[in-house]
Structures are given as structure tokens and as C-alpha cells.
Amino acid sequence: MIASVERSQVSGEVSVPPSKSYTHRAITISALGPGGSVKRPLLSADTRATIRAAEAFGAEIAIEGETLAVAGVGGGPKTPENVIDVENSGTTLRIMAAVAALTDGAVLTGDASIRRRPNGPLLRSLGDLGAEAFSIRKNDCAPLVVRGRIKGGRTVLDGSVSSQFLSALLISCPLAEEDSEIEIKGELKSRPYAEITLEMLEEAGAVIETDFQRFSLRGGQSYDLGGYTVPGDFSSASYLLAAAAVTGSRLTVRGLRPSNQGDSAIVSILQEMGAKISWDRSEGVLEIEGRDLSGVEVDASLTPDLVPTIAVLGAVAEGRTVVRNAEHVRHKETDRLRAMAVELSKMGAKISERPDGLVIEGGGLRGARVNGHHDHRIVMAMTVAGLVAGDTMVETAEAVSVSYPGFFEEMARIGATVEVGGE
């Protein structure tokens, strides 16, 4: 599909969708325990993939209005009867590969993008802990085969590619028979996502000791998350906030309470660039007023999903914006550094790509036909760019279903001139 975007402003109030990251983990942890309820989950293509995978391992999950009713497996997931297809969800692939190592085994695959994303560190760690885990094509990419069960032990995990590998092990290792120790090699990228995992595991009753270089996990534990309410998603909120910031608009955004989400940094980034923001943290209500923006330098090591949003903000702002420590962004649904450099250049942005980031000389954008690279975050970021440039068409617009299925409808409701149609 194609999204057609014209120059426009936004106004009024909008509620952010629930967090994708928290929803993935809530489903999995509930499914591995006795069960419970996940309230206000995000129901998107990615999280539905996690629901189907959890069901393949023996959980029963029913959608009841704005709640998921989960009947869990009580720490004993069953061996799936068929291949698990995670579609476009890298989080589902990594977490469920580790869950598979609590069974006699499974085969996991996904779409073309998933079959290009690396999983070597996770496969090697599962092997260290007693399972057999490998890539059918011997390239560390899906399809993945996991055979046998992790027993426990010690592993060294490369932290430079994705924190999803660590989150997967943190979820599975406490359910192994023996104790486990995970040592992180190098810098742990996207650490806030691991912090989310730890937060939720501890809420479910797990005991994990860590200084974020070593993680000690006692074996033979169990989970009980009970009734869990998913917080709002700062990653999705970044497009709404950026839309107001780049168009000089006023917008009230609801559902943003403080959490371990690294992408909450979008608030301070926008303030540093010049947007006026007031945030009632206890009520979760944030008001933003767009003003003239200035370039900033951003370390994206902890906030990889903000990179497309920041790139658009930088293209509109005056002066130079530098994004650094973002090499891990190349291993997402697409190479997001390359994609943003290519697509914003089509709109007249002066943007150059570095091995670990982007340099953007701001000053304005013009309308163009751009490609969303089948990546939900690229599509939404380029839609925000279109609000400033006008006369913009964003291809592969359907990709927003991965994390924000109602994105275009919500944008139109708050005043954006955007239409979605055929090719």
C-alpha cells in the first residue's frame, strides 16, 4: 500500500498504543507460568506472532476485549507439532528459540526479513547451556533448529548485536534444571530492553542477580505474573510527538507514564531540540508545542528504535544533527541507517551515512515518492517527514501493522492530511 501525505498540522488529544516490548514479554512469561491476564496488550502483527508461538508451546490464550486471558504451561512447555512461523517479528524469533530449548525441540522461521537477521550469539549460548541450536543454512539466520534442552551452566554472550538474545536467555534459564551464568562480552546494546525483561521477571517472582556484566540465574524457578497491565509505548509515541514538533503544532498525548523503556528519551531529545513540553508523569499526560528546532547529537546505543524519528527531526531542524553508536540499527527489519539516508536524500535532505550513525544538515524537505522498506518504523518516520514536505508518497505503508496498526487512522483523526490506498 501507499500512504499519500500532504503538508498539514496536528492538534487535539491522542492516546498512545500499548508497548510492543512489554506485550511480547507479558505473553511469554504468563504462558510459561500458570497463566493470568494481560490487560491492555498491543494486538499487532508482531505480538500476534508471539501469541501463536506461545500456543504452539501449549498455552491457551483468548482475546477478551482489551484483555488476554492466558492459561499457561506451568513451567513445562510442550514440543510444538509444527514449524513456528514468526512472520516479521525478531523478538518472537529470539525469545521463542530460547523457549524451544525448554522442550525436546522446535523449528522456527519467518519472512524474508527475518531470514536475513543474525542469531549467532543466541545459538552459541544455547549450545553452551546444553541444547543443540543451529541455522539450517549455516548462516546464523532462520530457519533455526533447536534440539534438546538447556540444562544450565555458563555462557559468554556478545552484547553488541541485540539485547533480544539476552532477554531470551533471561526468560528461559530460570526454568532450566541447573543454575546458569551469563557473561556479557563488550557493550550491551539496547540495555533498556533487558531492563524491561528483568523488571517483568522479577514481578513474576524470578530471582536474578546482576551487575549487567554477569547475570546469575538460579535454576528450577517458576513464574506467576498474575494480572499485568501493559504500559504505553514510547517508540510509537515518538512519531506523534515528532509530528507536532516538526509542524509547529500543539498536541496532548495520553498514556505516557515513566517506565524502563529507553525510547522515553524522545522527550528529552525533543526538549533539547527546542520543543516545549510539559509532562504530568503521574497521570501519564504529555503536552507538546512545536517550535523552531535545532540540531543535536544523540547516542543511540540505548535507543535504536528512535533513529528513524531523530533522522527526520534532524532534517527539519536548523544546524547539524549527529546520530552515533547506532551500528546495531543495521540489523533490524532493514538496515535503518542506510534506509533513512537513502529516503531522506530523495526529499532533499543533506544526510550522510557513517558506519555507526548519521550526520544530517537540517534545513527543510521537499515532497517525493519514498520507500518504507517494509519496515514499520521507516514508514512512520517518513510519514512524519511528509507532513512538512507535502506531496509525499510512502510505499509499503502496510508495514505499520507490525507495531501500530491504527497509525494512519490516528494521524488523520488529529488533523494530518494522509490517505492510504493501493499501489
Annotated binding-site members for phosphoenolpyruvate:
20, 90, 117, 164, 336, 377
Annotated binding-site positions for 3-phosphoshikimate: 20-21, 25, 162-164, 190, 305, 332
Residue 108 CA, chain-centre distance (Å), reads 20
Number of H helices, E strands in the chain: 12, 24
Taking CA atoms, 33 is separated from 70, 175, 196, in Å, by 9, 10, 18
Give me 64's grid cell: 477478551
Annotated binding-site positions: 20-21, 25, 90, 117, 162-164, 190, 305, 332, 336, 377
SS (H, E, C) 357-394: EEEEECCCCCCCEEECCCCHHHHHHHHHHHHHHCCEEE
Give backbone dihedrals phi and psi of 149, rounded to 5 degrees, phi first.
Answer: -120, 145
Q: Which residues contact 32 (CB under 8 A, 6 or more apart)?
A: 72, 73, 75, 77, 99, 171, 175, 223
Give me 301's grid cell: 546505543
Give me 55's grid cell: 500456543
What burial letters (b/e) apply to 55-93, b meaning 16+ CB within 10 Å?
bbbbbebeeeeeebebebbeeebeebeeebbbbbbbbbb
In terms of phi and psi (left: phi > 0; alpha: psi -120 to 50; beta: otherwise), the region of 203 is alpha
Q: Which of 292, 305, 335, 391 is catalytic?
A: 305
Position 379: which residue type?
V
Clarify whether 179 is annotated catalytic.
no
Catalytic residues: 305
